[in-house]
């Protein structure tokens, strides 16, 4: 009897090992599939004429629907590469990104090279290929360096999918989730950091939870670098999980403040010091803009 039990346990152990190996193989395969769909950064895909034709539509959306207000564009260096670092809001339909892109292109002209880093899923998602014409490239250090070394302005949201899905009651908190690789990027490229503070985006829906536990449970954190599978209330669906299905953002008033450039040279101190400076600048800007809001969404 003991021998039989031993054989059974031995066999079950093998089944378990084989099962885990199978899952690992499937995960690796899925990861490769997702990775292979992320387009290589090709800065030449940015198309100024295409952007110019899209600006009136974006202007209508920004001016009438989101009643956006963008200030301080004159603080951005007039030429040369610059790293624009913003706090991110609004889930997978972030109004702050397109409002700032519209403002930058209107102020400096579509001719000034301007790129934006986005999550792998955004740049590889079917139907969003046109974003590459706007200058959107997959978020990684190599692509960012490529853009900055070409002399372009680069917009990054270090908080990414962690910050963009924060609960709506934390809407006025700048939280990069400890990510500060952008400081190293600015140092490596030798470019100033210009903080870009914004408010309003997190009121485009009622974000309830980041859903990091769900991301782990579904293993999309390993498969697709998705750290969050958010849970939110949004029209027309009501309760939404993952924010992958198109929804109607609420017409929330967006306010953006561009702040004074921060030098990242050696004298500025180590990465932590610069990171702290950027966070304080952004939080100060968000607090100022938030203090001007009387009501959520309405502004």
Partner 1 sequence: MRVQRQCVIDADRDTVWKVVSDPDCYPEFMASLERWEHVTEGPADKGARYIVHWKIGSVPIGGVVEVSEFDPAHDLAWIGVSGVSLRGRFRIRDNGDGRTKVVFRLAYESAGNLLGIIADRVAARQVGRNMTQTLKNLKQLVEP
Window 259 to 288, contacts with partner 1 (CB under 8 A): none
d(CA 147, CA 168): 33
Q: How far is the CB of 126 from partner 1 (least distance, A)?
A: 24
Q: Could you say whether residue 257 binds partner 1 (CB under 8 A)?
A: no
Q: Could you say whether residue 64 binds partner 1 (CB under 8 A)?
A: yes
3-class SS at 121?
helix
Q: How far is the CB of 87 from partner 1 (least distance, A)?
A: 19
Q: Could you say whether residue 62 binds partner 1 (CB under 8 A)?
A: yes
Window 82 to 101, contacts with partner 1 (CB under 8 A): 99
- Separation in Å, CA 190 to CA 106, 145, 193, 266: 26, 10, 10, 10
d(CA 11, CA 273): 56
Q: Could you say whether residue 3 binds partner 1 (CB under 8 A)?
A: no
Q: Residue from 12, 32, 33, 63 that binds partner 1 (CB under 8 A)?
A: 63
User: What residues contact 4, with CB distance under 8 A and at least 6 apart?
Assistant: none
> What are residue 137's DSSP bridge partners?
117
Q: Residue from 30, 34, 43, 55 that binds partner 1 (CB under 8 A)?
A: 55
d(CA 62, CA 254): 8
3-class SS at 114?
strand
Q: Which stretch binds partner 1 (CB under 8 A): 2-10, 53-61, 126-134, 263-271?
A: 53-61
> Residues in the site for partner 1, rule: CB under 8 A?
52-57, 59-60, 62-64, 66-70, 73-74, 99, 102-103, 106-107, 109, 111
């Amino acid at each position: 009897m003991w021998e039989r039990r031993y054989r059974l346990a031995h066999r079950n152990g093998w089944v378990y090992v084989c099962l885990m190996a199978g899952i690992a193989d499937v995960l690796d395969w899925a990861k490769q599939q997702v990775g292979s769909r992320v387009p290589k950064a090709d800065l030449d895909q940015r198309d100024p004429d295409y952007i110019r034709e899209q600006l009136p539509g974006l202007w209508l959306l920004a001016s009438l629907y989101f009643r956006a207000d963008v200030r301080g564009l004159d603080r951005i260096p007039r030429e040369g590469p610059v790293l624009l670092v913003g706090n991110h809001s609004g889930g997978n339909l972030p109004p702050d990104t397109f409002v700032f892109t519209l403002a930058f292109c209107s102020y400096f002209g579509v001719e000034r090279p301007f790129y934006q880093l986005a999550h792998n899923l955004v740049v590889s998602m079917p139907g969003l290929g046109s974003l590459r014409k706007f200058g959107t490239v997959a978020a990684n250090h190599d692509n960012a360096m490529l853009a900055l070394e070409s002399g372009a302005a680069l917009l990054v949201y270090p908080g990414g999918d962690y910050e963009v899905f924060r609960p709506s009651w934390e809407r006025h908190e700048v939280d990069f989730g400890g990510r500060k690789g952008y400081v190293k990027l600015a140092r490596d490229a030798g470019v100033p950091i210009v903080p870009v503070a914004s408010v309003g985006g997190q009121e485009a829906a009622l974000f309830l939870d980041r859903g990091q536990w769900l991301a782990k449970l579904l293993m999309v954190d390993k498969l697709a670098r998705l750290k969050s599978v958010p849970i939110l209330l949004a029209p027309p669906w009501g309760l939404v999980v993952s924010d992958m299905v198109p929804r109607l953002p609420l017409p929330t008033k967006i306010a953006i403040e561009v702040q004074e450039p921060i030098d990242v040279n050696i004298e500025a101190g180590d990465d932590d010091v610069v990171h702290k400076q950027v966070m304080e600048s952004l939080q100060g800007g968000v607090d100022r803009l938030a203090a001007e809001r009387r009501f959520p969404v309405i502004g």
